[in-house]
Amino acid sequence: MTIKTQFWQVKGDSKAQGEADQAAIAAAAKLLRAGGTIAFPTETVYGLGADARQTAAVESVFAAKGRPSDNPLIVHIAKEEQLQTLVQPYGDTEKALMRRFWPGPLTLVLPALEGAVSPRVTAGLNTVAVRMPDHEVALRLITESGCPVAAPSANRSGRPSPTLAEHVREDLDGLIDGIVDGGPTGVGLESTVVLVEAQGVVRILRPGGITPAQLREVAPTVLLDESLEAAAAPRSPGMKYTHYAPRGSMLLVHGEPDNVRAYIAEAVRAAKEQGEITGVLTYDEHAASYDADVVISCGSLMKLETAAQGLYVALREFDARDVQRIWAEACSSEGIGLALMNRLEKAAGHQIIHV
Ligand code: TXA
Ligand code: MG
């Protein structure tokens, strides 16, 4: 079933309180209140929002994305006061993390207040994931709607997350009520999801825009959840689960830079001989080394923030150009590199080689 998707363009600049922007945000907020599904920009990626308290609205989000219903959603808020209506009392470490990183790309998993949001949001868990996005348009939309806004990334399930409104349109036009276009997102990868355990230990469930080193400035003990370690291990047949995936088959190549380049160059040559459309995902510093059909640099190795911003655009570009085989160069796992490598591993369906 197709529905008419409305589009609004807003500047997203706090100084540009244009009447058109205000009217667009008011219209989108009204649809949210009425149980609609609205895609909007955040500082990480575009989200697909619905009122977290309305089960039918939340179900529309799952349906539009084609998302498995056992994967819970993040609730987005605009003010810390909104938290009291959603969660039970929490500790000092949580408070310190909020003070330091909100608004910003950090999601906290907190004990839920029973009945505060639809059980479809939490997938029946007794916790709820909450964040306050650092984006003027998102904050205005949430405030104006008066709703806690449940919002997964605004892509079809299994596709790369959207960093442009155009990506949302590609995936969800005709499936959702509206798209607020606020230009490109900032970080380019999703928020860091953490859980605070006894003694203020911070467990990273998903690496993202806030790095472990940044978290350590607030909480001395920061752990990576085991599920993240396991994800790095070579997959066994049948265990493959892809996420953020391009349509072509992708292999992530680790190793000394010279070995990596030699390995990929030879693999590309062999695949071309077989008549396959080849692609290489690399960095500015190495892009000239390859003669695959499609060579894309996601950014600079000297500034991995740029590679984080460019990753999902690059993955979508391989799809747009019908690339069948993709080789991706691994990068350092320092800083934002941890989140970048996590997304590359997932995009590759855990097909990883060390050379
Ligand atoms: O940057 C972001 O976080 C973006 C923007 C739109 O805010 N949102 C996003 O949502 O990435 P989504 O649905 O694609 O990812 C939500 C993540 C999933 O890994 C989910 O398993 C986890 O948060 N999550 C949600 N609720 C949870 C809970 N109660 N306990 C543990 N993990 C939870
Ligand atoms: Mg997602």
Distance CA 138, CA 49 (A): 10
Percent of the chain with pLDDT over 70: 94
User: From the alpha carbon of 128, which atom of ligand 1 is closest?
Assistant: 29
Distance CA 76, CA 84 (A): 13
How far is residue 233 CA from its own chain's centroid? 22
**Ligand 1 proximal residues by C-beta, below 6 Å:** 42, 44-45, 47, 71-74, 105, 107, 109, 122, 125, 127-129, 133, 151-153, 190-191, 193, 205-206
Q: List, for residues 68-93, the tens digit of each pLDDT value.
A: 888 999 999 999 999 999 999 999 99
Q: List, for residues 228-279, the tens digit of each pLDDT value.
A: 875 444 433 333 345 678 889 999 999 999 999 999 999 999 999 999 999 9
User: How far is ligand 2, taken at its centre, from the CA of residue 265, in Å?
Assistant: 32
Distance CA 27, CA 353 (A): 49
Residue 129 has pLDDT above 70, yes or no: yes
Across the beta sheet with 106-111, what order do the strands follow? Answer: 6-9, 178-181, 38-40, 47-51, 149-150, 74-76, 127-131, 106-111, 192-196, 202-206, 222-224
Contact indicator for 323, 276 with CB cutoff of 8 Å: no
Mean residue pLDDT across the chain:
93
Q: What pLDDT score was predicted for residue 48?
A: 98
Residue 11: band (very low, low, confident or very high) from pLDDT cuts 50, 70, 90: confident
User: From the alpha carbon of 48, which atom of ligand 1 is closest?
Assistant: 6
Pair of tokens at residue 316: 């979508």
Percent of the chain with pLDDT over 90: 87
